[in-house]
Amino acid sequence: MNTPEDGKRSCIMIKKLKIRIFNILEGRDPEDRPARLFQVFIMSLIILNVLAMILETVQQIWLRYKLYFHIFDVFSVMVFTLEYMLRIWTCPLNKRYKHPIKGRMRFILTPLALVDLLAILPFYLPMIFPFDLKFIRVIRLLRFFRLFKMARYSDAVVTLVNVLKAKKEELGITIFVVFTLLILSSSLMYFIEHSVQPKAFSSIPASMWWGVSTLTTVGYGDVYPQTPMGKLLGAVIAFLGIGIFALPTGILASGFAEEIQKKHAKEKKRGGICPHCGKRIKQQNNLNF
């Protein structure tokens, strides 16, 4: 017969297991070997999934190894599903999601949790709803969301997202300038070249192909100006394209530098870096007990 002490002991063991799983899933401690192994395993599985999806489009490989692809997909979905369920189970340990029901609902609606869900949905949806084969193929394209799961395990991806958030206004202005220049150059080239090349520059939208290839300095050569005025405008637009597309590079470079400085300053403030040896200091997780 179970005694109250046995029930209490079981609750403590379950809570310890929950905390351990949470720490492994989050991987906040760089010295936690199981957590690091888990991250390497998941990242490797994600990369292999994307590679498998690419190879499936090669008809000869797909017909020969169709069974192996299916087995690997089932194994991957089982792993990702288990990870998703464990994250939902352990998320109340985080103070942001401490409520057992509302907290879990908030966690499920977070961007990374939605990516985790979209990574496994293509496998389960055809089992629930009777789709035709064409629509199933479209659904299976959602497997590319497995690649975005790496954002949870890669500091580089997290840094990139933070840079894009911090520089969204500057990047937005740059995109607006490029779009305005594209419309202006395509419109001018249409009015200059339409009479000479009615097929190549048949309309302003058609002229935008030339504008895109010229602004990006690719210049495919299938559409190009023939009149002297058109050639002069094309040269000016090409030079402007070089300068315009250098702007996002500078913005992102400065954003990365600022983000790295913030990261180091934050770690020093929290005592995350030893002032003597410069190594990272082991930190305790901020759990909700």
Give the per-residue pLDDT at 270: 61
pLDDT score of 59 more than 80:
yes
Q: Residue for token digits 């991987």?
A: 27
Does the pLDDT value for residue 1 go beyond 60?
no
Output DSSP code: residue 2.
-
Pure H helices in 97-227: 102-108, 111-128, 133-140, 145-148, 155-166, 168-193, 204-215
Give the C-alpha distances (Å, rounded to integers) separating 15 from 2, 27, 119, 233, 237: 19, 18, 28, 70, 64
Q: What is the C-alpha separation between 111 and 204, in angstroms, rounded?
A: 38
> In this structure, are residues 29 and 285 in contact, taking their beta carbons and an 8 Å threshold?
yes
Torsion of CA 195, 201, 203, 207, to 10 degrees: -140
Could you give the 3-state DSSP secondary structure of residue 58? coil
Cα 186 from Cα 214, distance rounded (Å): 10
Report the alpha-carbon distance of residue 90 to residue 268 in Å, rounded.
29
Structural domain spans, the chain: 4-153, 168-269
pLDDT band per the 50, 70, 90 thresholds, residue 272: low
Q: Write down the CATH number for the domain with range 4-153.
A: 1.20.120.350
Return the pLDDT at 109. 92
User: In this predicted model, what pLDDT tens digit does every residue of 86-111 receive, in sequence order?
Assistant: 999 999 998 888 888 999 999 999 88
Task: Assign 281 a pLDDT band (cuts: 50, 70, 90).
Answer: low
Amino acid code (one letter) for 152: R
* Other Cβ atoms within 10 Å of 187 Cβ, number: 14
Q: Which fold has domain 168-269?
A: Helix Hairpins (1.10.287)
Q: What is residue 201's DSSP assignment?
A: T
* CA dihedral sign of residues 275, 277, 278, 281: negative
pLDDT digits (tens, 9 = 90+) for 141-195: 666 666 667 666 667 777 877 888 888 888 888 888 888 888 998 899 888 988 8
Q: Cα separation of 153 and 36, whole Å?
A: 10
Across all residues in the chain, what is the average pLDDT? Answer: 80
Quote the DSSP letter at residue 217.
T
Please compute the mean of the pLDDT values over residues 189-214 and round it to a whole number: 86
Rounded Cα–Cα distance for residues 182 and 240 (Å): 11
Lowest-confidence segment of 97-106, 124-133, 228-237 by average pLDDT = 124-133
The two three-digit tokens of residue 54, written as one number? 């690419």
